[in-house]
Amino acid sequence: MTHRDEYRSRLRTADQAVQGLQSGAHIAMGMATAEPPALLGALAKMAEHGDVDDLKLWYFHSMDHAGDTVLRPDLLGHIRPRCMFLSSIERKLLAAQKAGEKSPIGFVPVAFSDSPRLFEEQVSLDLFVTTVSPMDKHGWFTFGTSNDYSTTAARSAKKLVVEVNPNMPRVFGASLLHISEIDAIVENTAPLAEVYAPETCEAEAKVAATIADMIDDGACLQMGIGALPGAVCALLQDRRDLGIHTELMTPALAGLIQCGAVTNQAKTTYRGRSVFTFAMGDRAFYDFLDDNPAIHSAPVNIVNDPRHIAKNKNVVSVNATLQIDLGGACNSEHMLGRQYSGSGGQLDFVRGANASRGGKSIIACQSTARNGTVSRIVPRLDGPVTTPRNDTHIVVTEYGWVDLKGKSLNQRADALIGLAHPKFRDGLANGL
């Protein structure tokens, strides 16, 4: 049987591909742009018709395809999310929750780097569904924009169903999946979800300029999500021999590759290649990733392993936070009494950059929130500690920056108060 024959023998409609799923099953889906819309629609239909109940759905970072199907409010009694990182989809569901009601979202605290191990050792998956790039003549697909935990979940689940989409870029690296590993195939040509960075405000522009001044030629970059990392990248186009080893690949980082600022020649690991574990952007960005040998995809337990990150010199990790207390501890995931996002890979890269020779771990935020009415620098955090004070290195706001390493608690408090908005400084100094 040829690879093409094998492909045809596994080809199903979305409804056929998920037949046989039992109530109470544990399922997982590819995250972000790898969400498989046809398969998620088929699962939602099964729940809506009462064919299955009490499905446990495991995932990181949902987007609109999931929000329109398996995460519909009317299905939450039948499909029970086991979410490891909240997005706007879950935040809307939580906002609609009535007082006294049990949360519709089962949030699972876990470091992004540990999620593959979760599927190997703690969760017995009955089904994994994800979007992949088309098969080549040798019988190989790739996981495209979503390596992360997908490569592990796909091989740990009792059943693997993939949605083959020609819009999914074919990527190089440890991202291959063979036809022999797949139980069923569904074809779909739905456009990939596109993500655009929001515009940068004046305060973020000041923060970005401060951070850019800290990044020298030859630095190895990890950038988080949002407007700020994009603003930093826009200021680095005159640098030379930058490298990329990042959790998230974005159009802003791709722009540094395209302009020649990134060569990856100063890196120790994967020299000459930009390393990532998942990617989000626009169509032009996905086209850039497609069949590009300078881009290397790897599982998150490799990309986000602090020991692996630290093998490179001069790692610069840039991440945002919601709150910083006067000792330097950061809450980057909890707001207004609710879980807002998740720990993701922030601590992984904070520790990796700290352990890198010449590395810099940068935590950045505007000094205030809610239109200037709330200070992000606080005496005590309102939520969990995402980055412990022992690990926090450099903190940046629009009022400057401070290196917390080696400073006493009193020195830290004085320095962080100096980064707060002036109208909150006296209150912070008085412990208010």
The letter for the amino acid at 292 is N
Residue 197 in domain: no
Same structural domain, 211 and 316 = yes
The dihedrals phi and psi of 171, each to the nearest 5 degrees, come to -115, 155
In order, the DSSP letters of 311-349 are: TSSSEEEEEE-SEEETTS-EE-SEETTEE-S--TTHHHH
On whether both 51 and 144 belong to a single domain, the answer is yes
Same-domain pairing of 159 and 240:
no
Cβ atoms of 244 and 264 within 8 Å: the answer is yes
Q: Which residues contact 318 (CB under 8 A, 6 or more apart)?
A: 211, 221, 222, 223, 224, 228, 229, 232, 362, 364
What's this model's pTM, rounded to 2 decimal places? 0.95
Q: Answer yes or no: is 385 within a domain.
A: yes
Q: Does 193 map to a domain?
A: no
Q: How many CB atoms lie within 10 A of CB 284?
A: 10
Q: What is the pLDDT of residue 224?
A: 80
Position 195 in a domain: no
Specify the DSSP class assigned to residue 121.
Answer: I
Could you tell me if residue 382 is inside a domain? yes
Name the token pair of 89.
């989809």
The CA distance from 254 to 275, in Å, is 11
Which domain range does residue 63 map to?
3-187
Active site (catalytic) residues: 247
Helix (H, G, I), strand (E, B) or coil at 365: coil
Same domain, 172 and 243: no
Task: Note the pLDDT of residue 432.
Answer: 62
238 and 362 fall within a common domain: yes
Q: How far is the C-alpha of 158 from the C-alpha of 181, rounded, in Å?
A: 11
Same domain, 150 and 219: no
Give CA separation, 352 vs 131, 180, 317, in Å.
Answer: 30, 36, 8
φ, ψ for residue 75, nearest 5 deg: -105, 0
Whether residue 192 is contained in a domain is answered as no
Are residue 263 and residue 346 in the same domain, yes or no?
A: yes
**Interatomic CA distance for residues 20 and 213, integer angstroms:** 57
Last residue of a domain, one of 187, 214, 232: 187
Distance (Å, whole) CA 241 – CA 267:
9
Could you tell me how far CA 24 lies from the centroid of its own chain? 28
What is the Cα–Cα distance from 229 to 227, expressed in whole angstroms? 6
Same-domain check for residues 206 and 181: no
DSSP H/E element including 80: strand 79-83
Closest CA relative to residue 233, chosen from 285, 270, 283: 285
Q: Is 118 left (phi over 0), alpha (psi -120 to 50) or beta?
A: alpha
**Are 181 and 305 found together in one domain?**
no
Tens of each residue's pLDDT in the chain, 432 residues: 899 999 999 999 999 999 999 999 999 999 999 999 999 999 999 999 999 999 999 999 999 999 999 999 999 989 999 999 999 999 999 888 777 778 889 999 999 999 999 999 999 999 999 999 999 999 999 999 999 999 999 999 999 999 999 999 999 999 999 999 999 999 999 999 999 888 889 999 999 999 999 999 999 999 987 789 999 999 999 999 999 999 999 999 999 999 999 999 999 999 999 999 999 999 999 999 999 999 999 999 999 999 999 999 999 999 999 999 999 999 999 998 889 999 999 999 999 999 999 999 999 999 999 999 999 999 999 999 999 999 999 999 999 999 999 999 999 999 999 999 999 999 999 976
Domain presence at residue 147: yes
The domain boundary residue, chosen from 157, 187, 217:
187
- 106 and 135 together in one domain: yes
The answer on 162 and 261 residing in a single domain is no
CATH number at residue 292: 3.40.1080.20
- 256 HSE (CA, 13 A, CB side): 34
Residue 363 lies in a domain: yes
Domain count for the chain, please give it.
2
Of the three residues 134, 156, 187, the one that is the final residue of a domain is 187
- 8 A C-beta contact, residue 352 and residue 308: yes
Q: If we measure between CA atoms, which residue out of 130, 219, 239, 226 comes closest to residue 182?
A: 130
Q: Are residues 61 and 141 in the same domain?
A: yes
Instruction: Find the CATH number of the domain harbouring 127.
Output: 3.40.1080.10
